[in-house]
Amino acid sequence: MIVIIAFGVSIIVAALLTFSPFARSDAWRATVTPLASIIGSGFLICGPLLAREFGGAALLAMAALLVIAYAAGWVIRFNIRHVEDHLATAPFADPIAWAARITQGVLALAYAVSVAYYLKLLAEFSLKPIAVDPAWQPLIANIVVTVLIAAMTLLALGGDLRKVEHVAHGTVSIKIGIIAGLLVALGIAWATSGAVQPLPPARVGWASLPVLLGLIITVQGFETSRYLGHDYPAELRIRTMRHAQWIASAIYLAFIALLTPFLSRAAQTEGVAGILDIMELIAPALGVFVLAGAVSSQLSAAVADSIGAGGLINEVSRRRVPVPLAFALAGLLAIAVVWLTDPFQVVALSSRAFALFYALQCALAFAVARRNGVGDWRHRCGFIVIGLICLTAAAVGAPAES
């Protein structure tokens, strides 16, 4: 019965997000890209990891992580409104323009690694039910990832970025539908389980701080709105980025809260396998939901980061490189990362690169606010505090997804 209800909820939610009039609006389409990137594999990984590291304080730790992410999003939204205008008219030798180029270089590296990482995970999940010789699995996974990136690139080169956004739109709709089904299943299990296992003791200390800061990568992605200026006006991107963070935060908090009866068990597991064990404990068929959610999460997050990377290259070239070609160049960089490195080994670099990018964005916001007289002292203090937090994450954050 739980499986039937969860499946029904998933179908209804996915259909509403795909076929309703709102789903075809620019407001939703501009929300999809950051939302797809934010909800990658994080919603599967965070539960067991936070339960293991923070015990009964897992929900509070998740809330703290989301507050940090929202604060970083506030900086990015300030930069969409003010820094973009400054860069549009700044001379080539302007120090702020050079700082922005360094920031964009850091982000380009992070995007290339994250796209390769997301799609490598997708290939691993897709090959999981298939009996493949372990010696051949890495090669087959790399081929699958290359084909996926090539297909997205051909879509972009065949028209405009909207075709690729349709892929993100569809996978996000499916993913949110699956998440809704999982949340309903957890809620029903909690309501009908009777005796609830005691919560593990809350553990909050300095030793867990690197893990919490390392989890920033699981809630990042909102910065993709910064590089969608070729398709959407600034105010729409600011508003929809905020909405994407609200939706993602609600999903993360609901997921951790509904895991409460299973925190003791979750604390003994980690990663996707941990969530798989818990959902199969509720109903064996729910394991299929977890695998489907994992695959759709990786695909939508990879597409969203690819879109962000294309927009980034377009902006760095001062619009000289068209968006479809920029998307193709980003795809080639991701393919190079796939074949020349192991994304599981370099994900720590990606985590820290994103944190460093946010710190540099804080520096840009502070510099523009001071030079152009926008904002007030509270804005500047906020930029400093958030920048220091991000620098700390870049220096000591543990690679939670490695």
- Record the pTM: 0.82
- Beta strands of 195-252 (E only): which ranges? none
Rounded Cα distance between 144 and 135, Å, is: 16
Q: pLDDT value at position 402?
A: 44
Nearest 5°: phi and psi at 132? -115, 135
Q: pLDDT value at position 387?
A: 94
Q: pLDDT value at position 360?
A: 92
Q: Are 161 and 323 in contact (CB under 8 A)?
A: yes
Helices and strands in the chain: count of H runs, count of E runs: 17, 0
Tokens found for residue 164: 């690729």
List, for residues 343-383, the tens digit of each pLDDT value.
555 566 677 888 888 999 999 999 999 988 888 889 999 99
pLDDT-based confidence at residue 72 (cuts at 50, 70, 90): very high
**What's the topology of domain 2-396?**
Amino acid/polyamine transporter I (1.20.1740)
Cα–Cα nearest to 43, from 279, 269, 271, 213: 271
Q: pLDDT value at position 74?
A: 95
Higher pLDDT, 338 or 357: 357
Mark 118-132 as b/e (b = at least 16 C-beta within 10 Å). Answer: bbbbbbbbbeeeeee
Rounded Cα distance between 137 and 255, Å, is: 32
Q: Are 271 and 48 in contact (CB under 8 A)?
A: yes
